[in-house]
Amino acid sequence: MLIKRGAEASIFLEEWQGQKVIMKHRLPKKYRIRQIDQKIRSYRTLHESQLLHYAKEAGVSTPIIYMVDLADSNIIMEFIEGTQVKQILNDLSPEERQNLSEYIGELIGRLHIRNIIHGDLTTSNMVLNRNGNIIFVDFGLGEISVELELKGVDLHLMKRAFQSTHFCIAEECFKAVLCGYTEIVGQKMAKKVINKIREIEGRGRYISERKRSG
């Protein structure tokens, strides 16, 4: 059953060896030469499965991978029983929001300290399970990088996700995320990343102003 169709891949809920699983299928792109398209999709499928593994090594829960099919660009992985953070964050008490947001920040910190960039940090890609653990999903845009810029972009995307989906509580949630993040990466690195976020926001304002004045 198709549950999500994206620009790069479709997500299916399937039955596999007697259990519910998620199958992520990377879609062929007709505008690319077929052989090149196959190589790109195979590479990205392998790369995402590796990132899911690296995240686990960093102490961040991700779905268990059952099978990687490079020929068809498929990943079959665990179906996570739980609720998207997006669906519950607005309804939590202030204390619960604070704790959950700090926890999210700690997990992002664990990724970044290992130079893992998620690439799409939104509350839609975080699932809270029955045990109170947050599982990060969809590393399709992720990469390994030491670049401060990409870590800043990762957290800037998180901030934008709060502003667009949880605008009434966005500021308090993001502050809590940065608090948890700092606990993991340390004051020195956190300060550099926060400064990079401000720089990225400044660029965005400059471009917006140029468009209005033009």
Quick one: residue 18, left, alpha or beta (phi over 0 = left, psi -120 to 50 = alpha)? left
Quickly tell me which residue has 């990409």 as its tokens: 150
Instruction: Based on DSSP, count helices (H) and strands (E) in the chain, helices before strands.
Output: 6, 10
CA dihedral 135, 138, 139, 141 (to 10 degrees): -150
Q: Which regions of 47-91 does DSSP assign to beta strands (E)? A: 65-69, 74-78, 82-84
What crossing angle do the helices spanning 148-165 and 187-213 adopt, rounded to 10°? 70
Phi, psi torsion values for 187, nearest 5 degrees: -60, -40
Q: How many CB atoms lie within 10 A of CB 105?
A: 26
Where in the sequence numbering do the catalytic residues fall? Answer: 120
- In angstroms, the first-to-last Cα distance of the chain is 47
